[in-house]
Amino acid sequence: MTNQRRRFIGQLSLLAGAAALSKPFASVAAVKQIRINPATDNTVTIYHTNDLHGILNAAYKNMGGLNHIKNTLISQNAKGLLIDGGSFLNKDQNYAAHKNMIEAMNSVGYHAAAIGTHELSKGEDYLARLAPLMQFPLINCNYQLGYTLNKYVKPYVIVKTGKLKVGITGVGQPNDSVIYNDAIKCANKTAAMLKNDENCDLVICISHLGNNKAGNIPDNQKLAQQSANIDLIIGGDNRKITHGPSLLNNSLKHEIFLCQAGFDGLMMGKMEFAFDEDKQKAQINAIHLIPGKPEDKRFAALLNKFGTIQAA
């Protein structure tokens, strides 16, 4: 593989922190199930969420929540992949509420989701009861799971979009409910297989490791810096809304993106990767979308205020 191919970006167009304010759409209750279809050209578009915490309706002043996310995707006429970084359930809700959230995610058309801390909060057996309801795969390559849950969890998936192959793997942080293997080692092993054996043009890791963990505890930043074959990390378990994607260097000193959306659905990420005819990355665009309609359009003030709010 050439250095040019190893390089993460050729031309970089970042609209980090910019907001596309979605227009009000039809009530979600009246909207039929939507499916986000893969693109047919040489562009890979990834919509991503994380830490939804089971919130269906607006989380803050008519913003956030899965219903507004659904409306935003409809208004965008979304094409591409829709991925969640984990903790889409709420540990304090009951089975009926969890079932409602999963059914809502099915109707939106998620392609994959990480296993977060909230999904495991009631134990592995409980999640195994919910997993058959999901029309999207749970992705994790570093947990050792029991037979029942393991049937519904994949270490990776490969998605064809146009002429391109996208490999998606995922990792989670230590949890008393499951046997934990080193997240960074497992992610690197799976990513190498996806890139070198499966010839994926883009490798994504859904990482629910969180940010800025002390010492040698794995986190999203350490994963990025110690990786070699991952192009994009979609992070979860973040505690505030970030101002945009982080551009980091991996272990080979090549560029890698770490992207995180807002908790409770207050912000959704959108990444676009354009490839040339030789399947080299030619341009990358990144924006954040605000699901819902802010009462105050002064986005910077809203973003600064959100940045101090702690996740549940």
Q: Is 25 a residue whose pLDDT tops 50?
A: no
Q: State the average pLDDT for the chain.
A: 82
Determine which of 3-12, 101-110, 285-294, 303-312 has the lowest per-residue pLDDT on average: 3-12
Work out the average pLDDT over 98-117.
97
Give pLDDT, residue 77: 82
Determine which of 16-30, 54-68, 78-92, 234-248 has the lowest per-residue pLDDT on average: 16-30
Q: Is 276 a residue whose pLDDT tops 90?
A: no
Give pLDDT, residue 292: 83
What's 248's domain CATH number? 3.60.21.10
For residue 311, being part of any structural domain is answered with: no
Q: Is 15 a residue whose pLDDT tops 60?
A: no
Work out the average pLDDT over 56-74.
90
For residue 61, being part of any structural domain is answered with: yes
Count of structural domains within the chain: 1
Instruction: Report how far residue 189's alpha carbon sits from residue 187's, in angstroms, rounded to the nearest whole number.
Output: 6
Q: Is 185 a residue whose pLDDT tops 60?
A: yes
Q: Which residues contact 194 (CB under 8 A, 6 or more apart)?
A: 156, 158, 167, 169, 200, 203, 229
* Backbone φ and ψ of 148, nearest 5°: -65, -50
For residue 59, being part of any structural domain is answered with: yes
Could you write out the three-class secondary structure of the chain?
Answer: CCHHHHCCCCEEEEEEEEEEECCCCCCHHHCCCCCCECCCCCEEEEEEECCCCCCCCCCECCECCHHHHHHHHHHCCCECEEEECCCCCCCCCCHHHHHHHHHHHHHHCCCEEECCCCCCCCCHHHHHHHHHHCCCCEECCCEECCHHHHCCEECEEEEEECCEEEEEEEEECCCCCCEECCHHHHHHHHHHHHHHHCCCCEEEEEEECCCCCCCCCCCHHHHHHCCCCCCEEEECCCCCCCCCCEEEECCCCCEEEEECCEHHHCEEEEEEEEECCCCCEEEEEEEEEECECCCCCCHHHHHHHHCCCCCC
Instruction: Report how far residue 161's alpha carbon sits from residue 40's, in angstroms, rounded to the nearest whole number.
Output: 6
Residue 16: domain span: 3-306
- Sorting pLDDT into bands at 50, 70 and 90, what band is 30? very low
Work out the average pLDDT over 191-209.
97
Work out the average pLDDT over 277-296.
80
Give pLDDT, residue 312: 34
- Sorting pLDDT into bands at 50, 70 and 90, what band is 53? very high
For residue 312, being part of any structural domain is answered with: no
For residue 104, being part of any structural domain is answered with: yes
In this predicted model, what pLDDT tens digit does every residue of 146-162 receive, in sequence order? 999 999 999 999 998 87
- Sorting pLDDT into bands at 50, 70 and 90, what band is 56? very high
